Amino acid sequence: MIEFKEDTCTAFEQASRLEWLETNGIGGFASSTVSCANTRRYHSLLTAATKPPLGRITALSKFEEIVTIDGVAFEISANQYTGSIHPRGFEYLSRFRLDPFPVWTYEFGGIELERRIFMVNGENTTVCAWKVLSKVAGRDADIGLEIKPLVSFVSYHGLQREDPSIQTSYQTTDNCVLINPFPGEPELFFCHSGATHAKSGHWYYGFQYPIEKERGFDFSEDLFQPFTLSYDLRDEAVVIISTKQHDHRRAPDYEEKEIDRRKKLTEIAGPKDAFEKQLVHAADQFIVDRGSGKTVLAGYPWFSDWGRDTMIALPGLALATNREGIAKNILREFSEHISEGMLPNRFPDEGETPEYNTADATLWYFEAIRAYLEKTKDFEFVKDELYEKLVEIIFWHRKGTRFGIRVAEDGLLEAGVPGLQLTWMDAKYGDEVFTPRIGKPVEIQALWYNALETIRALALKFEDTDGRRLYREMSSKAKKTFNKEFWNKDGGYLYDVIGDNFKDDSIRPNQIFAVSLKHSMVSMYRAKKIVQVVERELFTPVGLRSLAPSDPAYRGVYTGSPCERDSAYHQGTVWAWLMGAFVESLRRTYPKGRKFKQYELRIRRGFEKHLEEHGVGQVSEIFDGDEPHKPRGCFAQAWSVAELLRVFD
């Protein structure tokens, strides 16, 4: 349980920086802040995945909530408008906890009120409940609750504006209100526990979202308020918001089932302490359905499923948590999308045609399969369903595939064409690629060698004599060239990218993969030198910097307009997911463990603190390169969580 007391909850700026997240396992989610003020366009009580895991629509942004005690009104909501905050319900907060889902406790007017929110797994359904926990001794007050839905019904990347075409009418049954504001969009049901309803039909204007303003985007929104539900709080008030009709009496069953589901995740994973337990629950939020299979959403609130992120995250999210069946399902699902020897980079939010602009996602696929086999020994599955596809991938890389990706004469893998970004350092704004890395990037070579050695072992296991001979020759050639061309003797580290007429000596974290991956091309002497340089220049308690501060191109703060932020994305910004490779490299270069244990303590302390400073119970995508390393980007990132789980498993 993560808990914040009154001093945090009633400090508006602090409580509004703390974001909570609930997910439904099919791509939908609910999210806002401890203060209950939405600070992003992505905050909502129900963002529905209409084409799981994508087609996401912000359906219900929030409720305006008013409690009356003997006719005296207490507004417990919070909104930001130009120059004002109204209402100021956060001032009544005495406690917020994640236990296991978001729970608020308010104190006002002589009562203590609890508010709970959770999602139903496998459905676009959010359950909200309010109940009076205690009253002043001897007082028999008349306590009521009004909730006013504020709906949006736009793409979750968008913002709503007053729209005269909105359908203001709604339908009712005994305990359900149905709205369909825009034909063609999903219907939305509000199934309630005995409330009365009254039509409103109002627009609320000018909600201000400060994080969007900070990010250089439009930050003002109008929301429609179709009706009001009124409850008598002598009993618990419940509303189930969903794209399908529910019986409100099932709410306790849904809650118990969700609590049990999360308990089972813990039992299966067997975490050693509270920190790892929280990471297990964080990991579950990224695993979602895709068709009949599974995939990984790269991050909340705005990423879809990316091939690269999925394969990097798979060992931590699924294998370290002992959910091998999920890992198998993901490997099988992505095998169906291999094209010209390439795994998709991402599945767009709009449309079903995947994008293949990646040189590394396919190579991380080999590593994910290797990790799966190390955990499960399920060679039959790989032989029957994946091996021929891996052989095909090597064939296409030898022949040459999209975007200049091919094996060069020297045995290394080259990639890149002007105007495209193919490695994980993929920031681009308009037509400008900030870190193009055309040529032979160092981590691509490390991954390529690791892939060749992985398939060589499989060829031996599956008695593919010709394949085994070919892959041995290819890996030997790549290793020889790599050690000759990539070692920066003067600096004692690896070049980041080499090409026909250049060698990039920028100190970046990509070289760490030449040490951390299972199959490494570098000697132990060089490995220790690499780790020492990365440790000295790039290490922070929350990840590795993407560029050394001594570099003239270093950018220590990730902020400003989209262009400014993208230009800083890989020029010093700290990435949490890189910590996994760093920790793995420490283990390999200092096998006696003393140095690793020293760093383990620093890293765990850094992330334990972080679980309570941005996304509550989650790990952010990135941090500023400069101290105090303020969290930035997505407040919940799959590979950030996954790599911590993997190396601390």
CB 366 within 8 A of CB 341: no
Whole-angstrom distance, CA of residue 413 vs CA of residue 398: 9
DSSP 8-state class, residue 187: P
- pLDDT given for residue 46 in this prediction: 98
Q: How many CA atoms lie within 13 A of 494 on its CB side?
A: 32
- The position carrying tokens 């050695």 is 453
- pLDDT given for residue 138 in this prediction: 53
CB 429 within 8 A of CB 562: yes
Domains of the chain: 2-260 (2.70.98), 270-648 (1.50.10.10)
DSSP 8-state class, residue 511: G
DSSP helix/strand/coil, 81: strand
For residue 176, give the nearest of 224, 123, 227, 236 by alpha carbon: 227
- pLDDT given for residue 431 in this prediction: 86
DSSP helix/strand/coil, 291: coil
Check: pTM over 0.85? Answer yes or no: yes
- pLDDT given for residue 141 in this prediction: 85
Strands (E), 92-247: 93-98, 102-108, 111-119, 125-135, 143-155, 170-173, 176-179, 188-192, 196-208, 220-232, 237-242
- pLDDT given for residue 595 in this prediction: 82
Q: Count of residues for the chain?
A: 649
- pLDDT given for residue 139 in this prediction: 63
Rg (CA), the chain: 26
Q: How big is the CA angle at 432 (ends 626 and 154), to the nearest 5 degrees?
A: 85
DSSP helix/strand/coil, 576: coil
Q: Token pair for residue 580?
A: 């996994």
For residue 392, give the nearest of 356, 450, 444, 340 by alpha carbon: 340
- pLDDT given for residue 136 in this prediction: 66
For residue 395, give the nearest of 471, 447, 343 by alpha carbon: 471
CB 148 within 8 A of CB 200: yes
List, in order, residues 6 or more apart from 505 with CB less than 8 Å away. 488, 491, 495, 496
Task: Return averaged pLDDT per consecutive 10 residues of the chain, 649 residues in all.
Answer: 97 98 98 98 98 95 97 97 97 97 96 97 98 77 95 96 94 93 93 92 97 95 97 96 97 98 97 96 97 94 95 98 98 95 86 87 98 98 98 98 97 95 92 93 98 98 98 98 98 97 97 98 98 97 97 96 94 98 94 83 93 97 97 97 94
- pLDDT given for residue 591 in this prediction: 85
- pLDDT given for residue 194 in this prediction: 82
Q: How far, in Å, are 63, 105, 396, 443 from residue 124 at the CA level?
A: 17, 26, 40, 39
